[in-house]
Amino acid sequence: MSFDIPVVHNVAEMRAFVRARRAAGERIGLVPTMGALHAGHLSLVEEARRHAERVIATVFVNPTQFAPGEDFSRYPRTLAADCEKLASVAADLVFAPAVEEMYPPGFCTTVALEGPAKADLEDRFRPTHFLGVATVVAKLLNQAQADVAVFGEKDYQQLLVIETMARDLDIPTQILAGPTLRDPDGLAMSSRNVYLSAEERARAPALNRAIVTAARRIAEGEVIGHVMGEAREEIVGAGFEIHYVEARHAGTLARIARRHEGPIRILAAARLGATRLLDNVAVPA
Per DSSP, the three-state class of 100 is helix
Q: Residue 192, annotated ligand binder?
A: yes
Lowest mean pLDDT among 64-73, 77-86, 224-233: 64-73
Are the C-beta atoms of 239 and 233 separated by less than 8 Å?
no
- Answer whether CATH 3.40.50.620 is correct for domain 7-178: yes
Is pLDDT above 90 for 4?
no
Secondary structure (H, E, C), 200-239: HHHHCCHHHHHHHHHHHHHHCCCCHHHHHHHHHHHHHHCC
- What is the pTM assigned to this prediction? 0.95
Q: Look up the CATH architecture of domain 191-282.
A: 2-Layer Sandwich (3.30)
The stretch 1-5 carries a mean pLDDT of 72
pLDDT band at 76; cut points 50, 70, 90: confident
Is pLDDT above 70 for 2?
no
Catalytic residues, by residue number, are: 41
Confidence at residue 73, expressed as pLDDT on a 0 to 100 scale: 83
Q: For residue range 24-50, what is the model confidence (pLDDT) as tens digits? A: 999 999 999 999 999 999 999 999 999
Q: For residue range 77-118, what is the model confidence (pLDDT) as tens digits? A: 999 999 999 999 999 999 999 999 999 999 999 998 999 999
Return the bridge partners of 268, or none.
245, 279
Q: Residue 157, annotated ligand binder?
A: no
Is pLDDT above 60 for 1?
no
The residue extents of the domains of the chain are 7-178, 191-282
Q: Residue 197, annotated ligand binder?
A: no
Q: For residue range 127-166, what is the model confidence (pLDDT) as tens digits? A: 999 999 999 999 999 999 999 999 999 999 999 999 999 9
Of all residues in the chain, the percent with pLDDT exceeding 90 is: 93
**246 dihedral zone (left: phi>0; alpha: psi -120 to 50; beta):** beta
Report the mean per-residue pLDDT for the chain: 96
**Whole-angstrom Cα distance, residue 128 to residue 125?**
9
Q: Residue 39, annotated ligand binder?
A: yes
Is pLDDT above 60 for 11?
yes
Is pLDDT above 90 for 246?
yes
3-state helix, strand, coil in the chain (%, to 5): 40, 20, 40
| Better pLDDT: 266 or 73 | 266
Residues 6+ apart with CB under 8 A from 232: 242, 245
Q: For residue range 54-65, what is the model confidence (pLDDT) as tens digits? A: 999 999 999 999
Pick from 82, 244, 242, 64: nearest CA to 136: 64
Is pLDDT above 60 for 233?
yes
